[in-house]
Structure 1
Amino acid sequence: GTTASENYTTTNYLIILPDGCTNVSGVTRAALRIRFKDMTSATISTENISWLNLPEGKRVELLTDSLAVKVFGTEADVAALTGEDIAVTVDLDDYSAASGTYTIPAEVTVNKGDVGISGLYQIQVTIREGGEEPPPEEEAGPEDVEAAAPAGEDAQTGGTP
């Protein structure tokens, strides 16, 4: 995986040997560390969370309404970011038979600047049977109260005695 700090990123790579070769050193991973002069990181919260591939006949409720995402890049690009520039998406394709509450891996993308994402993210959702929510029942509301008011009431308050 890749980790980031204020000044550099480190990526670990598995050393894959060609067929017929033997690893005599015992070293199985290589770490690549890249240092940047003008790199910074920040944590930015976003409420821009959505889902893909909602199973037929199901409805979903997001239990995670905000996600704090760690980003890194140049000072200018990171400073220009807001939560609106970060999109979080969960793919419900593997949950076609699911009902209940699940923690699902999320894909985080940044739509602005040359900015990377550090860390892995998850969103909690509840999946229920039934398609779209039915519209709420209309209750007796202010319309009925207005209709009960005597007609011409306003005309009686003003005028000459």
Structure 2
Amino acid sequence: MAKYPNWFSGMRITSQLLAEMIWDEVTPSSNQTVTNSTTFVNTGIVIPVVANARYRYSLWAAYSGGAGNIKFDWTAPASGGGVDRYGQGPGSTSSGGSGNATNMSTRRETAATSVGLYAATNTLYMEEGIITAGTADSSATLRFAQNAADAAGTTFSSASRCWFVRVG
């Protein structure tokens, strides 16, 4: 993936420069369900990163489930990389079509984000962030788990999307 271009006075627009401005998209290949577990599992949303690069991403995480709710985190790129993130979704105690949105801001990927459900199906969590690669080519992987272990499964939907572009 090429780096998002810097534009200077007098530059000509080329197809290569325009192509470098297009965000890449990753999606999970299928729905994933976690039942009775608070252990994180990979979602299939994996962002490959080049050593010493920075990426901006925008995530739409679609999910459904019961009282267990859901939580998200990222695995950091290897060799000193990290993920700075800001997200918004239903509060971790929201259910049955009501509740307040929760805003969260996390420095790096070590803290999980817990969100609730507005309804048993089709809830959306949105997150923006910056991925900073370490000194080696690697990847950042979105993971999810139930916030509280519950016999009713929590499903991460294949309708989820993550767009990303190299910015540095």
Smaller-chain TM-score bracket: under 0.3
Higher relative contact order (CA 8 A, sep 6+): 2
Bigger Rg, structure 1 or 2: 1
Report the TM-score, using the length of structure 2 for normalisation. Answer: 0.27
Choose between structure 1 and 2: higher helix proportion: 1
